[in-house]
Chains A and B, each alone.
Chain A
């Protein structure tokens, strides 16, 4: 076998072997193939001289695009062509189906054939320039999978169109209202749950059964809702105007919610079953405050809230009376574990109300 690096004398053209990703091997004139830097390097590394050692082309080069690329190389590697000829060849060359043009660009890029990459990417750019998004999607079969909101998000409002700004604000307000509606529903549902379960489980506890898992969960849900609601209150003015990139900031919001929940979980994890009622007591108190908040803020006045309030009041008093019997021992545990809980109590009160709702005082209130 002759050396692959030596170009043979004029009479005989030397050929090299190329293998595409699908396994098919073909023979190409060396002078044409070395127009591609990738192939050139491979030849210098000693590959491609025989059928058993073909040059493996990168994955993006399939037989169709390879033949197109070789046509291009075959034309342009001839030194005698005038600029006009080359230009006219190029113009005819890029007339093909859009997807094939994209494949050709990727293939040329992986073979490091810069002139062809420039030519094809310019052609693709011409197809994008000055078109509306719908036209571009049509040309390239791009799915239209942004939600209406995402399309109008501040991220895209680079040109500061006042209509888009207005729409953003409306969307933000709508979002907030929807979330609050949802949360209220959750709260009602859980308030009712709490009421039901508190009675049942108090009884069951007093009778010595372990029912705290459910309690913890409901308390956790309420905490999460409250926290989300608070963030909601603070977030909209920020959200509507200076959202640099929505996904990361959404992520952090969520994680804030989650981390607060997990913190509560951790605290509650330490709580013994006999503390959980107290927690619930405080929760129900919080509920009352929370419901007040809801009532103040938004326009949703269902008339359900006062009823629940009354229910909760009743149950709380009930519960307090029952606890009275076991009061002295419980107080110790309450006070020690309540320390952990107190900081979160301050933050929860969204109204900015700085009432210090310590465990003891809360109980005292209801004892009367």
Chain B
């Protein structure tokens, strides 16, 4: 074979590989290992400066802390950045140990390097305000912010290329969230979970984002006259033809049952996944609201329900859950978190087991307040329930 001759004198093949391949190898290494390849040989001295993706994540800072200590983290990060040759298109920052000033400089640097994909996480309180340099990163396609305080400057014209925006646990400064959203017209993924925002978002503003495939927001932020009814949600979904995943958060919202018996004309065929968070199973209105959702999404395949952690009324009014009327033919997987064992919750699970012929898996995670013995009792009860789908697995933990 042709290679065997060369195997006698082992070649340094890796150093001759094309730059883009070497860069893709270096991208799969932790940042400190990628930089250290500079010491391998003359050829490799500057290969790492071609990196376009930087992962300043926990792993990197833990490594630096071990070898250097906390004080010069900012200095080291700056030095590293000075060597970089080309654009930086993707970056993950977990700048928990950096000064606020360092964070500002870092974001300024990235804004000049044509960053396209930025993830930045900082759960410290009080929330650090992100610098306005962030809003000059107009090439951004993906922006994920966890924690922090996000305040677009007045008159900000939006991110024209933004496809995915996640602002989880973010405090939104200002009162123009809706307008900000309308200025990012290409958005396909929008996640505003656990957002702290004192204002309101008009339905009309969200409906402008016609390309949305994944949407997650809090019902309390939707602006309506008095209360929110399922009709409002259906209206919203009606304007988003490409929507595949919808997440609704029920914390602090005022709901109404309006339209509970009325059948909404359009079913929404595209929606495949639904996630309902912080539902209070003691609140009858919320439960019926949830059921309305289920009724109108016939192609639903995945359902996630996360019950609220807060203490709920231990003796809620049990809601008669109609059986058989709703056909959830496509539902394959159900995830139920913070199960407290209340009557309504048990009813719900019973319902799913009875009415979902395609169900493959139902996963129930108990709330921490449930004692092991209680867990056992519930588990026994669940196992005895009738199942429409013979293949259904119940995972209870």
Write the residues of chain A forming the contact surface with B, with a CB cutoff of 8 angstroms: 22, 62-64, 97-100, 102-103, 105-106, 109-110, 117-118, 121-122, 124-125, 128-130, 133, 136-137, 140-146, 150-151, 155-156, 158-161, 244-245
Contacts and interface: CB of A to CB of B under 8 A. Distances in A.
Contacts of A143: 12, 41
Given A129-B33, A143-B12, A160-B72, A102 B17 contact: yes
Contact of B40 (A22, A110, A121, A133): A133
Contact of A142 (B15, B67, B83): B15
Interface stretch (B73-81, B214-222, B291-299, B382-390): B73-81
8 contacts: A22-B2, A99-B7, A124-B14, A128-B33, A146-B39, A150-B42, A156-B36, A160-B68
Interface in B25-68: 25-26, 28-30, 32-33, 35-46, 64, 67-68
Given A130-B33, A158-B35, A99 B10 contact: yes
A160 B11 contact: no
A150 B32 CA distance: 19
Given A140-B13, A158-B35, A160-B75, A125 B28 contact: yes
Task: Pick the most buried of B26, B30, B41: most chain A CB atoms within 10 A of its CB.
Answer: B41
Contacts of A144: 41
A129 B35 CA distance: 11
Contacts, number: 113
Nearest to A110: B18
Contacts of B44: 142
B82 interface: yes
Contacts of A97: 7
B371 interface: no
Contacts of B76: 158-160
B39 A133 contact: yes
Contact of B1 (A64, A128, A158): A64
Given A142-B44, A158-B76, A159-B76, A125 B29 contact: yes
Given A105-B25, A128-B33, A130-B33, 11 more contacts: A97-B7, A99-B11, A102-B14, A102-B17, A121-B24, A133-B39, A142-B40, A143-B12, A155-B83, A159-B64, A244-B83
Task: Pick the most buried of A122, A136, A244: most chain B CB atoms within 10 A of its CB.
Answer: A136
Contacts of B30: 129
B42 A145 contact: yes
Interface string B205-231: 000000000000000000000000000
Contacts of A62: 2
Contacts of B26: 125
Contacts of A105: 17, 21, 25
Task: Pick the most buried of A62, A124, A156: most chain B CB atoms within 10 A of its CB.
Answer: A124
A244 B21 contact: no
A141 B10 CA distance: 6
Given A105-B21, A124-B25, A136-B40, A158 B79 contact: yes
B20 interface: yes
A340 to B, nearest CB: 41
Interface of B: 1-3, 6-7, 10-15, 17-18, 20-21, 24-26, 28-30, 32-33, 35-46, 64, 67-68, 72, 75-76, 79-80, 82-83
Given A121-B25, A130-B33, A99 B38 contact: no
A72 to B, nearest CB: 16
Nearest to B85: A245
A124 to B, nearest CB: 5
| Closest 10 pairs between A and B when the two form their complex, measured CB to CB | A125-B28, A141-B10, A102-B13, A121-B25, A99-B13, A140-B14, A121-B24, A142-B41, A102-B14, A141-B12
A221 B90 CA distance: 52
A140 B13 CA distance: 7
A105 B72 CA distance: 38
B21 A121 contact: yes
B24 A117 contact: yes
Contacts of A245: 46, 83
Task: Pick the most buried of B20, B24, B83: most chain A CB atoms within 10 A of its CB.
Answer: B24
A101 to B, nearest CB: 9
B345 to A, nearest CB: 33
Contact of A100 (B3, B17, B42, B83): B3
A99 to B, nearest CB: 4
B363 to A, nearest CB: 20
A118 B24 contact: yes
B38 A155 contact: yes
A145 B40 CA distance: 8
A106 B40 contact: no
Contacts of A161: 67-68
B12 A142 contact: yes
A129 B63 CA distance: 13
Nearest to A136: B40
Nearest to A125: B28
Contact of A64 (B2, B13, B32, B39): B2
Contacts of B36: 133, 156
B25 A145 contact: no
A127 to B, nearest CB: 9
Nearest to B82: A244
B18 A109 contact: yes
A140 B10 CA distance: 9
Task: Pick the most buried of B39, B44, B46: most chain A CB atoms within 10 A of its CB.
Answer: B39
A60 to B, nearest CB: 8
